[in-house]
């Protein structure tokens, strides 16, 4: 079954138009709907339309009036009179579109119509069509190009038909396929699309790098400040430890001094107690001596009284049988103090019993 091109709505192409691989749709045309099928099976073949008018006197490019933007350029070959020696050039050959035929029955498809005829009198457009879309052909469905036309189908002088050639780019491939997208505009669009996500990505990476650098700087600054604070705290701790040790040493010294003062106080207290005790003993001895002196005085008085009564002896001299009766007599003789082994020693005169009499 033969296939033909199915233009989307709004695409101004002539009936039976078969795009080549280098054809571009007009940019002003609307985009094809999503999922649009560009190639469909052709209807049964119909009789061929009347032959086109005679070609121009010389080879020229013709542009379709029906297609905005220029359409497809077609070259017509100059008519050659019989016997002429002018050789046709490839640029003057006629561009004949291959009729679409069914692979099975060989019946030709619909040929060109009046709308597809080219007006050679119209001037060529100023700019070539441009688009981002290319229409490849479907494979194995098109018949080989026609090499010649019957003179019966041409209303006019005989025209030498040359090999069909594409005015721009290679000859369309024998295969026809679905509509493909590939052109320099597509590359630019892909580049723009690439830049569309590459630019935000680059900005994001740059911002991330700047954020990382700022975070790294803040972290390093915080670490430096933390290190300084740690060093200051360690120095302060060492100073406090040294001061604490010094205070502990001074406290131990004070405690030692306080212990010495307490010991000295106790010693002084003990000495004061001993001195008080000694004073009490001395006072007691003084009292005892006074009592003994009183007793000796009484005895001397009694002895003197006995001497006055006519007793024999030297009571007046204070010495009886070589023993001194009073200390005055011993002092008078220069014998004081009398010791225990001295002559005239009287134990009665030894008041404190230390073996020495008349000490005072």
209 burial (CB, 10 Å; 0-12 / 13-18 / 19+) is exposed
- Percent of the chain surpassing pLDDT 70: 53
Number of neighbouring beta carbons within 10 Å of residue 30: 10
Q: Give the chain's largest Cα–Cα span.
A: 230
Whole-number Cα distances in Å, 196 to 188, 201, 202, 204: 12, 9, 10, 13
More confident residue, 195 or 138: 195
Least confidently predicted of 4-18, 19-33, 115-129, 160-174: 160-174
pLDDT class for 70, splitting at 50, 70, 90? very low
pLDDT class for 54, splitting at 50, 70, 90? low
Q: Are 304 and 328 in contact (CB under 8 A)?
A: no
Q: What is the pLDDT of residue 195?
A: 73
Of 315, 348, 319, the residue nearest 331 (C-alpha): 319
More confident residue, 162 or 279: 279
Q: What is the pLDDT of residue 231?
A: 93
Q: What's the CA gap between 154 and 157, in Å, rounded? A: 8
Q: Are 59 and 76 in contact (CB under 8 A)?
A: yes
Of 21, 97, 101, 99, the residue nearest 64 (C-alpha): 97
Length of the chain, in residues:
360
Q: What's the CA gap between 308 and 304, in Å, rounded? A: 6
Q: What is the pLDDT of residue 207?
A: 94
Q: What is the pLDDT of residue 163?
A: 38
């Amino acid at each position: 079954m033969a296939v033909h091109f199915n233009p989307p709505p709004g695409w101004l192409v002539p009936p039976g138009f078969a795009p080549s691989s280098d054809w571009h749709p007009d940019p002003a045309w609307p985009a094809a709907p999503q999922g649009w099928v560009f190639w469909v099976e052709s209807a049964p073949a119909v009789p061929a339309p009347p032959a086109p008018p005679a070609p121009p006197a010389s080879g020229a490019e013709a542009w379709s009036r029906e297609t905005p933007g220029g359409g497809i350029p077609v070259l017509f070959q100059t008519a050659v009179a019989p016997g002429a020696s002018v050789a046709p050039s490839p640029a003057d050959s006629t561009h004949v579109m291959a009729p679409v035929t069914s692979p099975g029955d060989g019946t030709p498809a619909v040929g060109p119509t009046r709308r597809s005829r080219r007006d050679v009198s119209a001037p060529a457009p100023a700019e070539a069509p441009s688009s981002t879309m290319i229409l490849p052909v479907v494979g194995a469905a098109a018949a080989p190009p026609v090499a010649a036309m019957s003179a019966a189908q041409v209303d006019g002088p005989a025209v030498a038909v040359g090999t069909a050639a594409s005015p721009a780019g290679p000859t369309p491939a024998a295969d026809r396929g679905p509509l493909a997208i590939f052109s320099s505009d597509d590359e630019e669009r892909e580049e723009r699309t690439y830049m569309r996500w590459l630019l935000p990505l680059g900005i994001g990476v740059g911002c991330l790098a700047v954020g990382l650098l700022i975070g790294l700087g803040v972290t390093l600054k915080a670490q430096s400040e933390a290190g300084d604070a740690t060093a200051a705290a360690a120095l302060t701790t060492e100073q406090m430890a040294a001061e604490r040790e010094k205070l502990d040493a001074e406290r131990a010294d004070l405690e030692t001094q306080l212990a010495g003062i307490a010991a000295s106080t106790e010693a002084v207290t003990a000495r004061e107690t001993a001195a008080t005790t000694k004073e009490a003993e001395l006072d007691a001895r003084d009292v005892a001596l006074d009592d003994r002196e009183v007793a000796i005085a009484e005895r001397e008085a009694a002895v003197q009284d006995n001497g006055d009564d006519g007793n024999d002896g030297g009571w007046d001299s204070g010495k009886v049988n070589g023993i001194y009766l009073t200390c005055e007599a011993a002092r008078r003789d220069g014998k004081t103090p009398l010791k225990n082994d001295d002559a005239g020693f009287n134990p009665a005169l030894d008041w404190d019993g230390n073996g020495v009499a008349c000490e005072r």
